[in-house]
A and B are shown apart, each in its own frame.
Chain A
Amino acid sequence: MEQSAPASNAIVLRPSVEQSNIAALRDAYAKMQALKAADNRSWIYWAEYHGFDRYDCWHHAGTGPPPGRDYPYDLFLPWHRAYLQYFEHVVRDQNAEAIPPWWDWTSAASHAEGIPKAYEESEVDGAPNPLAGGPMPKIPKEDVERTTRSHGAPAELPKLSSPTPESEGEPLPSVESLLALTSYVDFSRQLQNIHDAVHGWVGGQMGVIATAAFDPIFWAHHTMIDRLWYQWQLLHGVNNIPPNYSEKVLAPFGLTVEQVLDVRALGYDYASSSASATPVPAVAAQAASAS
């Protein structure tokens, strides 16, 4: 058995795509994509938790057990946080420097160019870019071996702010207006609407639940969604969630909702960006100044 280097137990700062170690990320993703599907370190194995053929994911408000058993609840944000945490460690096993980044689709660069270039180049050093597409399992009625995209116009991506209240004339409220919502359920519903819009904007396999997670941009999109929830928590309270959510188990990950509320307890935090500055919690600021 090969002896591996000791794992880092430090809290990681999840970077933006622009700040991330793209070479390390490509290396880790390429290694995962080369593994056979049944290997529990493989790209397909982890993507299948979300869609075909396991469908463990949570989406949309209003779902839950039958009336009388519990109040309706929606585990969209907590479930994806747990999913991302597991995925991140699987990625880091392949390359210790690879931290899945967030794609800020509100940034000026995204509104000019759309998907980040690092995720768009079809080839890198003569090989398929593992950030541009991922392998697909055999799916009924689908005959593609790697994911593709058919994205919309960059200007159609969600906006950080709006010159008018409620983003009049816009299809979506601005991200800033969402962050001002004080109810978790309200915020989660509206953020999920933006999330849905970006999936549709990217198109291709990313455009439907069954196949979205096979596309590498899925992970950058969901890390952005998780980061926005984190930003909302900084404004409105880390534990600000309906009480009946707390003990819900995020299957199959074995974590409860309560256990995923504090990102630092999960071993990560978010680096800020110039496009949309992230409020840095005091404890993170101390860690940064000490390093």
Chain B
Amino acid sequence: MANLVTSAPIPTASLDAEFTRADIEFHGLDHSGATYEGRVFLNRADASEQTPRDVPEYAGSYFVFGHGGCLGDPGHCDATPRRFYDPRSAHPLTPIVKVVIATAALRRAKAGSDQLTVTVVPVLLATNKAVGEPQDLVLYEQVRIVTYR
């Protein structure tokens, strides 16, 4: 089973009290390897693949359609940034953004605690021989809570 990832605590007092929609955004997410479901739980750092999705801490899932590993020569999958005048689009392995709409779960978390943690439980869906079954499926730079009125 791949490693789960839990964020640092996020103070809920900083969230708008009157939001009509709230999202959990994962920025700088790696998608170079296997395809997986990231099950997102709030204030449930002990969640696992066996934790049912109908618990109140479950906020939803994001899915990553993995690139399938590197099938080129060394350096082929290095996601180097483009130069300013480079007409090519970004490298296909540029880290991505995933957004989980989680209004009700965030409302519960805000009402129940003055801080929240975001735990991602990865569930491997598809892989290949180039990737295998990596332990570290969930690699991201930042998680943000974004609210809308």
Contacts and interface: CB of A to CB of B under 8 A. Distances in A.
A68 B82 CA distance: 12
A130 B148 CA distance: 48
A150 B124 CA distance: 13
Given A140-B130, A150-B126, 17 more contacts: A57-B92, A63-B89, A63-B92, A64-B89, A69-B84, A140-B71, A141-B69, A166-B60, A169-B58, A186-B99, A196-B35, A200-B36, A200-B65, A203-B125, A207-B128, A208-B66, A208-B126
Interface stretch (A48-56, A95-103, A269-277): A48-56
Contacts of A186: 99
B29 to A, nearest CB: 8
A195 B63 CA distance: 9
- Which DSSP category, helix, strand, loop or mixed, fits chain A's interface? loop
Among B54, B71, B131, chain A packs the most CB atoms within 10 A around the CB of B71
A200 B39 contact: no
B137 to A, nearest CB: 12
A59 interface: yes
- Size class of the contact patch on chain B: 35 or more
Interface residues of A, number: 56
Lowest 8 A-B CB distances belong to which pairs? A207-B126, A200-B125, A208-B68, A210-B68, A62-B97, A60-B96, A196-B65, A171-B61
A65 B68 contact: no
Contacts of A6: none
Interface of A: 51-53, 55, 57-66, 68-69, 75, 139-143, 150, 152, 165-173, 186, 189-190, 193-197, 199-212, 251
Nearest to B100: A193
Contacts of B69: 141, 208, 210
A152 B37 CA distance: 13
A201 B96 contact: no
A207 B66 CA distance: 8
Nearest to B131: A208
Nearest to B52: A169
